[in-house]
Amino acid sequence: MDKVKALAQELGFVETFFVDRTILSKPVFEGTSLSFDYVIVIDFESTCWDSKDQQSKWQNLAEIIEFPAVLLNLKTGVIEDQFHQYVMPVENPILSEFCTKLTGITQEVVNCGIPLGTCMMLFSQWINRLSSDKKITFHKPSAECKTCTFVTWSDWDLSMCLQNETKRKQIRKPEILSQWIDLRLCYRKFYKRKPQGLKGALAELGLPFAGREHSGIVDAKNTANLVCRMLRDGCQLEITSSCDLPSPPINGKRCPLGTLKNSSTPLSRAPQSLKIRAIRGALNSNRLLKNDCFRSMKPIEGIYHDDENDVSTKNQSKIISPTTLKRDLPLVTPNGTSTPKRQNVNLSSCKRTPPLCRCGRRAICKVANSPGPNQGRSFFSCPNQRRSLGMVSKGCNFFMWC
């Protein structure tokens, strides 16, 4: 190592930084007003894959596997409390080899972790305890309470990782996590240079990186150390980012399947479509049977109730067959009109709670649109079926008729 360092010095690749030790020995602030009394530094670790890995298509479905947060007193520069939990992924429960090498988190650790919803509940309890014990209020200045906000290294942690996962899994996110300070942006604006990662930013200021890189709790503590140094240098920390997208309510009332929320528009096909499909089925049945006796039968009046504005089928003669009579029986309503009744489709089952698929997520209800005997029939399928970056994910191929 000494030979490499000596060779680098000869070639001029070594740059020396001179740090004033008096700056490091004095308090964070002397006679200067602070915008906040405390900051909570957050640095998530999530599931990840190598770009060459075939599973890299799940990159946009990253799940948090380590949830660390440290409470930093800006007046003393001391970490007074911390929150740390390992989270169990459910969409991609098996960690990639690349993820284990990068974060140092093994499969056994996440298997013993807790779900994200439980982690968010414990985090909220920790925040409530801090608010009551230390009389902390978040984001807004107060004369009676001490102010606090959140700090992250880049916007990825709160604006993308946590926001997308809580929205995807229908988990309530605390509203206080909607505003934060992007320390990387503050560093670039204050020092007028682009940092080469967290470790590079510490090295540029002559601060060592303590611990293992890409460990969530270690990165959070090193970020807190960088915050103290930037405050000593005269940097004023202000809220730089916000996320206005509301998180979904937890344990809220579910929208009945087959009906849009706050709307009377059904997700299933309209009655007019049922009429057209019944007529087409009757025509196809007659073509297959090729029996003239069924064509000469007197049609049953009242099977279909035509709309006044429907000109295309109002004057058409109705063609029926034994197959049609078996499939579409008249359903008499109180006002005397009749509508076709579809067999083999249990409409009441469409309002049942969707089952869990093999991914562990709640299945979604869809309607078969392909022509055939099951057209218009509802079924449950895996919600992971989506298209992104030109690739189609089939999820766990879960399928069940309603």
Catalytic residue selected from 165, 214, 238, 305: 214
Element holding 241 (H helix, E strand): strand 241-242
Helix axes 197-204, 216-232, angle to 10 degrees: 30
Name the helix (H) or strand (E) containing 181.
strand 179-182
Count Cβ atoms below 10 Å from residue 272 Cβ, excluding itself: 12
Q: What does the alpha-carbon distance between residue 132 and residue 124 come to, in Å, rounded to a whole number? A: 12
- What letters, b where the CB count within 10 A reaches 16 and e where it falls short, cover 224-259? bbbbbbbbbeebebeebbebeeebeeeeeeeeebee
How far is the C-alpha of 42 from the C-alpha of 68, rounded, in Å?
A: 6
3-state SS class at 36: coil
Where residue 79 falls (left for φ over 0; alpha for ψ -120 to 50; beta otherwise) is beta
45 is catalytic: yes
Instruction: Kindly tell me the sign of the dihedral angle through the C-alpha atoms of 21, 25, 28, 29.
Output: negative
Does residue 139 have an active-site annotation? Answer: no
Q: What's the rounded Cα separation, in Å, for the pair 16 and 173? A: 45
What token pair was written down for 310?
């429907």
Residues 244 and 220: their CA atoms lie apart, in Å, by 24
How far apart (Å, rounded) are the C-alpha atoms in residues 217 and 211? 10
Pick from 234, 247, 230: nearest CA to 162:
247
14 burial via Cβ count (<10 Å: 0-12, 13-18, 19+): exposed
The token duo for 96 is 């990639």
Active-site residue (options: 45, 63, 66, 165): 45
| Active-site residue set | 45, 214
